[in-house]
Amino acid sequence: MIASVISRPALDMRRGACPALSAPMMTGDGFLARVPLTDMITPQQLAEICRLALRHGNGILEISARGNLQIRGLTEASAPLLADMIALDLPLRDGLAVEVPPLAGIDETEIADPRPLAQAIADGAKAIAGLAPKMSVIVDGHGQLRLSDLLADIRLIAVSAADDICWKILLGGTEESGRVFNVLRETQAVEATLDLLRELSTLGSKARGRDLADNTLDAAMLDQGRSGMPASPRRQEAGPFGLIRLSEDLHTVGIGPALGQASAERLIALCKAAEALGIEALKPAFNHSLLFFGAKQACETLADFASGAGFIRSAADPRCQIAACPGSPACASATIATHDIAATAASQCGELLDGSFTLHVTGCAKGCAHPKVSSLSICGTSNGVSLIAGGKAADAPFASIAFADTNATLRCLSDLVGSERREGETSAACLSRLGPLRLAAATGQS
């Protein structure tokens, strides 16, 4: 069935549409297909997906910021790839994206297992037509790894209420910026979420959760949702990199390809190493990571191997402080080679990349990799490169430079922060204090 929908008339090439497996998206280096996994797979299965990427695509795979596995460089003749995928018997999502954290159901620290609720919402949503292509629902059981920073149209978060468990429902944004709609018990939460989705479907295929929060729902209803709400537990800030204990016998370790992208050959080598260590399961996860599950010693040995092979194994790696879209030549809209700039920045701007902000390197003002405010963004334009402080990629720049000056300018800004930083001040705070005029002067513009 999947193979039948990749035929050219069915290819969904609307900019902004999700490049799901059933609707590959045209990019600068061919079609991009998403493999929407809903559960763990084996290292052998990932290695086989990599072989398919070599056979049918350009051999480049990505793990997106949301934890989706993606295959690049496909062609119209890639239909057999999808047929081959079916033979792999992968746990693929069908229908609305209802996401749960990567440790859902196996994390003893969770307030509640979000999977039954997520499944009920996914099942109910099959009867709702006309939702936005990128509509997403997050159901978060509040465990060790959270999806707090990912945008969602509707988000449900487990909260402890007296001797019961409830679900806080938010509309639009991240966990921090989303608007609270209500706090309900599980059955009511499913029905309320499906009602919200039905409401969105009546507003048309461009309507998103934030539209409900902004326009449709009665403000009194939103206020009512806030009143009497149980206090949210302290927010977990753990990321997917490093070793996490799940039980006496089971650990997981997060490993990431730099900037979310790796060659099929390197991933196959990683899978073979995992297999040799007795690791039987893995799962792509947020922040461009791959979680491997196994005994503690096996996970640690695999992380050592991965680090030696150039993968990220720690959140302290400067490459984790950079969000870069595929850029040129992978995306037709890109005017700069974002990954080259990001790699140079990671190796030369350690003073700047202290973990207090995400350096955003984007091929155009759309800002796919980091659709949020950043302390510093580098954006490709038709004339060169724009530098934006404390804004989004499309905001007004404090300086515009030639592409050839990008690396030197970044080093300049890094040195400026290094010399101007006050005791205990982060790079983000320093950039903010210096402001656009000082930053522009440092780049030779004022």
Least distance between ligand SF4 and beta carbon 18 (Å): 13
Least distance between ligand SF4 and beta carbon 241 (Å): 24
- The answer to whether residues 12 and 25 touch, using CB atoms and an 8 Å cutoff, is yes
- The answer to whether residues 240 and 287 touch, using CB atoms and an 8 Å cutoff, is yes
How far apart, in whole angstroms, are the C-alpha atoms of residue 168 and residue 159?
7
Least distance between ligand SF4 and beta carbon 366 (Å): 4
**Using CB under 6 A, which of 307, 333, 432, 445 touches ligand SF4?**
333
- When asked if residue 325 is in the footprint of ligand SF4 (CB under 6 A), the reply is yes
Least distance between ligand SF4 and beta carbon 375 (Å): 18
Tell me whether residue 333 or residue 407 sits nearer to ligand SF4 (CB atom). 333
Least distance between ligand SF4 and beta carbon 29 (Å): 11
Q: How many CB atoms lie within 10 A of CB 38?
A: 18
Least distance between ligand SF4 and beta carbon 335 (Å): 8
- Applying CB under 6 A, the span of 33-41, 90-98, 324-332, 407-415 interacting with ligand SF4 comes to 324-332
Place of tokens 């202290």: 354
- The answer to whether residues 389 and 439 touch, using CB atoms and an 8 Å cutoff, is yes
Least distance between ligand SF4 and beta carbon 324 (Å): 8
Q: How many residues bind ligand SF4 (CB under 6 A)?
A: 12
User: Which residues are registered as beta bridge partners of 139?
Assistant: 156
Q: Per-residue contact track with ligand SF4, 354 to 373, x per CB under 6 A?
A: --------xxx-xxx-----
Which residues, including other chains, have CB under 8 Å from residue 139's CB and lie 6 or more apart?
A: 98, 99, 100, 114, 115, 117, 118, 121, 155, 156, 167
Output the residue with the shortest Cβ distance to ligand SF4: 363
**Using CB under 6 A, which of 67, 143, 209, 326 touches ligand SF4?**
326
**Using CB under 6 A, which of 152, 320, 331, 342 touches ligand SF4?**
331
- The answer to whether residues 399 and 405 touch, using CB atoms and an 8 Å cutoff, is no
Least distance between ligand SF4 and beta carbon 362 (Å): 5
- When asked if residue 121 is in the footprint of ligand SF4 (CB under 6 A), the reply is no
Q: Which bin fits 130, alpha (ψ -120 to 50), beta or left (φ > 0)?
A: left
Tell me whether residue 114 or residue 326 sits nearer to ligand SF4 (CB atom). 326
Tell me whether residue 102 or residue 326 sits nearer to ligand SF4 (CB atom). 326
Least distance between ligand SF4 and beta carbon 369 (Å): 6
Q: Is the dihedral of CA 133, 139, 145, 151 positive or negative?
A: positive
Tell me whether residue 197 or residue 342 sits nearer to ligand SF4 (CB atom). 342
- Applying CB under 6 A, the span of 117-125, 247-255, 319-327, 341-349 interacting with ligand SF4 comes to 319-327
Tell me whether residue 78 or residue 335 sits nearer to ligand SF4 (CB atom). 335
How far apart, in whole angstroms, are the C-alpha atoms of residue 158 and residue 170?
12
DSSP 176-205: TTSEEEEEE-HHHHHHHHHHHHHHHHHT-T
Which residues, including other chains, have CB under 8 Å from residue 187's CB and lie 6 or more apart?
A: none
- The answer to whether residues 140 and 148 touch, using CB atoms and an 8 Å cutoff, is yes
Tell me whether residue 83 or residue 394 sits nearer to ligand SF4 (CB atom). 394
Q: Report 402-431 residues binding ligand SF4 (CB under 6 A).
A: none
- When asked if residue 341 is in the footprint of ligand SF4 (CB under 6 A), the reply is no
Tell me whether residue 261 or residue 375 sits nearer to ligand SF4 (CB atom). 261
Tell me whether residue 284 or residue 367 sits nearer to ligand SF4 (CB atom). 367
- The answer to whether residues 359 and 376 touch, using CB atoms and an 8 Å cutoff, is yes
Tell me whether residue 319 or residue 339 sits nearer to ligand SF4 (CB atom). 339
CA Rg value for the chain: 22
Place of tokens 């990912």: 150
- Give the strand pairing for 154-161 and 136-140: parallel
Tell me whether residue 184 or residue 331 sits nearer to ligand SF4 (CB atom). 331
Least distance between ligand SF4 and beta carbon 327 (Å): 6
Least distance between ligand SF4 and beta carbon 257 (Å): 17
Q: Which bin fits 57, alpha (ψ -120 to 50), beta or left (φ > 0)?
A: beta
Which residues, including other chains, have CB under 8 Å from residue 203's CB and lie 6 or more apart?
A: 211, 212, 216
How far apart, in whole angstroms, are the C-alpha atoms of residue 140 and residue 244?
18
Least distance between ligand SF4 and beta carbon 134 (Å): 13
**In 30-95, where does DSSP find H-type helix?**
43-56, 79-87
- List of residues contacting ligand SF4 (CB under 6 A): 325-327, 331, 333-334, 362-364, 366-368
